[in-house]
Chain A
Amino acid sequence: MAYSKKVVDKFENTINEPAKYNVGRFDPKEMNVGTGMVGAPACGDVMKLQIKCERQGNTHVIKDVKFKTYGCGSAIASSSELVEMLIGKTLEEAKEIKNIDIVEALELPPIKIHCSVLAEDSIKQAIEDFEQKQ
């Protein structure tokens, strides 16, 4: 599998320094936490993304993110890349993140584009979960 150096580095950094790369979990019951889980074990990838938000004016800002991913190297790299994009963004800004942003950032091979789609789905679902709680 010919992965770009970016995918390989992101993957290796994430597994070698999980805390630094936001691997972990929040309590999903907390009111300021939104959780998204997408994918299926049978398909080979499951992403769980959690955002912790803070009210600022009339919007919410993503203050912290935690994630866990089961999947191939590029699925893990895609979620890790997404997490970095999210911190500090408002929910409106976060909704604008598209899978192509991850594809470009990591130079994903065409056969692995679905990993970035899954990452986009995970943030959408996490925001939805958060907004329903408010």
Chain B
Amino acid sequence: MSNDINLPIYLDYASTTPVDPRVAKKISEHLTLDGNFGNPASRSHKFGWKAEEAVEEARSHVANLVNCDPREIVWTSGATEADNLAIKGVANFYQKNGKHIITSKIEHKAVLDPCRQLERDGFEVTYLDPNEGGLITPEAVSKAIREDTVLISIMHINNELGTINDLDGIGKIAREKGIFFHVDAAQSTGKVAIDLNTLPVDLMSFSAHKTYGPKGIGALFVRRKPRVRIEAQIHGGGHERGMRSGTLPTHQIVGMGEAFRIAKIEMDDDQLKVKTLHDKFYESVSKIEEIYVNGDISNKVNNILNVSFAYVEGESLIMALKDIAVSSGSACTSASLEPSYVLRALGRKDELASSSIRFSFGRFTSEQDVDYTLTLINHAVDRLRELSPLWEMHLDGIDLDSVDWQTH
């Protein structure tokens, strides 16, 4: 093995990314007395004006990446808050029009939990099943629409699988029926081009820290034409045109702006590099017997690959891969000892769901990292299968489904 490799290797970019050094520099220029530290809401002096200028420049960078009007960008504390603001904000504002919401079983908890909350407040929510490939089809959405449907919330790129939903298809159906369409795009920026000028999407959530920006900052796109109105969830000063109060964190905002500015310029190069790593990784891993890729391989981003290693339990595999930082399902649920709800929604059996690992690559992943990881995976899977009574039964030709297991 190579001597100059840095361990542990980070292959969990879908969970969060390191801040790009160029972004960190920008952030550091907006904190101290000699920097641009003012309150962007201060109207009476230069400190405030300069801070406001920096915030507005960052807003333009974000808008520019997704091709919308900067006035359509509302700063939030992250994609979770953006999802909450969009879903509760629309549902509450338009509840006279109806109290039915459509979402899917593979959404992030930041969408599912606000929906659950709305159910407690008297709304009805339909949770759509994905197809086998992990996609929510426009047809499935169309079938679930009712007279009283006010909002459809479907993610763009699934965080566990990397699968890409057809926003244009779903959005057109929503438009036709006059239903608002919200999209959680936390995983999308810098990975796939988004053109909100043409996409029939009314609200879209963004996160900085999945795209080499800082944690604690995100944004919600709220369309102006046709106009979407939302009920504010946080009150206290009427910042962000009344949609989200609270002093704007200039340093985090410029960090997000810089990260998205760089993403716009470097997206093609980033993705070309990640595709090379992904293809090499996939080609090698697919030579291992009895592995299953979760999610439609032909309809996903290259930075995420979710694989189930049959007859090997996921947590033990992660432990055996201790020099590799990967995750089993989403980080928010991996402490709960439950197989991923996303994989279960795909119809994967529990044992395959719990043997899944998400590998996610990024801007700072090297070919060496991938080579080293592949060597470790081959070794760990071999060893754990040698230890697995299920693998032994499989080799003996026993159908595991025919065994009368004592569930506990």
Kindly state the separation between the CA atoms of A76 and B383 in the bound complex, as whole angstroms: 12
**Interchain CB contact under 8 A, A40 and B405:** yes
Interface residues of A in 1-52 (CB under 8 A from B): 1, 3, 8, 11, 14-16, 18, 23, 25, 37-48
Contacts of A44 in B (CB 8 A): 313, 337, 339, 350-351, 354
Interface residues of A in 37-80 (CB under 8 A from B): 37-48, 68-73, 75-76
Q: Min CB distance, B403 to chain A, in Å?
A: 9
Contacts of A25 in B (CB 8 A): 392
**Interchain CB contact under 8 A, A70 and B408:** no
**Interchain CB contact under 8 A, B316 and A42:** no
Interface residues of B in 374-408 (CB under 8 A from A): 380, 383-384, 386-392, 400, 405-408
User: Given A42-B351, A44-B337, is A18 in contact with B316 using a C-beta cutoff of 8 Å?
Assistant: no
Kindly state the separation between the CA atoms of A3 and B319 in the bound complex, as whole angstroms: 10
User: Given A16-B383, A73-B315, is A39 in contact with B388 using a C-beta cutoff of 8 Å?
Assistant: no
**Interchain CB contact under 8 A, B386 and A43:** no
**Interchain CB contact under 8 A, B315 and A1:** yes
B332 contacts chain A at the CB level, 8 A cutoff? no
**Interchain CB contact under 8 A, B319 and A11:** yes
A114 contacts chain B at the CB level, 8 A cutoff? yes
B335 contacts chain A at the CB level, 8 A cutoff? yes
Kindly state the separation between the CA atoms of A100 and B354 in the bound complex, as whole angstroms: 27
**Interchain CB contact under 8 A, A42 and B387:** no
Nearest A residue to B350, CB-CB: A42
Nearest A residue to B405, CB-CB: A40
Give the number of chain B interface residues (Cβ < 8 Å). 29
B359 contacts chain A at the CB level, 8 A cutoff? no
B312 contacts chain A at the CB level, 8 A cutoff? yes
User: Given A15-B384, A73-B316, is A38 in contact with B354 using a C-beta cutoff of 8 Å?
Assistant: no
Contacts of B391 in A (CB 8 A): 70
Nearest A residue to B315, CB-CB: A72
Contacts of A16 in B (CB 8 A): 383
Kindly state the separation between the CA atoms of A68 and B386 in the bound complex, as whole angstroms: 8
Contacts of B31 in A (CB 8 A): none
Residue from B316, B337, B389, B405 in contact with A48 in the complex, judged by beta carbons closer than 8 Å: B389
**Interchain CB contact under 8 A, B311 and A70:** yes
B25 contacts chain A at the CB level, 8 A cutoff? no
B320 contacts chain A at the CB level, 8 A cutoff? yes
Kindly state the separation between the CA atoms of A23 and B383 in the bound complex, as whole angstroms: 10
**Interchain CB contact under 8 A, A70 and B350:** no
Chain B window 321-365, contacts with chain A (Cβ cutoff 8 Å), 1 for yes, 0 for no:
000000000000001010100000000011100100000000000
**Interchain CB contact under 8 A, A23 and B389:** no
Max chain B C-beta neighbours (<10 A), residue from A1, A38, A72, A75? A72
User: Given A40-B407, A41-B351, A42-B405, is A23 in contact with B316 using a C-beta cutoff of 8 Å?
Assistant: no
Q: Min CB distance, B346 to chain A, in Å?
A: 16
Q: Min CB distance, A40 to chain B, in Å?
A: 4
Q: Min CB distance, A5 to chain B, in Å?
A: 13
**Interchain CB contact under 8 A, B389 and A72:** no
**Interchain CB contact under 8 A, B408 and A114:** yes
Contacts of B337 in A (CB 8 A): 44, 72, 111
Nearest A residue to B312, CB-CB: A70
**Interchain CB contact under 8 A, B405 and A1:** no
**Interchain CB contact under 8 A, B406 and A40:** yes
**Interchain CB contact under 8 A, B390 and A46:** yes
A94 contacts chain B at the CB level, 8 A cutoff? no
Interface residues of B in 159-204 (CB under 8 A from A): none
Contacts of A73 in B (CB 8 A): 315-316, 319
Interface, chain A (partner B; CB < 8 A): 1, 3, 8, 11, 14-16, 18, 23, 25, 37-48, 68-73, 75-76, 111, 114, 118
Task: Return the 9 tightest CB-CB contacts between A and B, nearest first.
Answer: A40-B405, A41-B351, A48-B389, A72-B315, A68-B389, A73-B319, A42-B350, A70-B388, A15-B383
Q: Beyond A37-B389, A72-B313, list 17 extra A-B contacts (CB 8 Å).
A: A11-B316, A15-B320, A15-B387, A18-B386, A38-B406, A38-B408, A39-B408, A43-B408, A44-B313, A69-B388, A70-B312, A72-B319, A73-B316, A73-B319, A76-B316, A76-B387, A111-B337
Pairs A–B under 8 Å by Cβ, sample size 8 = A14-B387, A38-B406, A39-B406, A68-B387, A70-B313, A70-B391, A72-B316, A72-B337
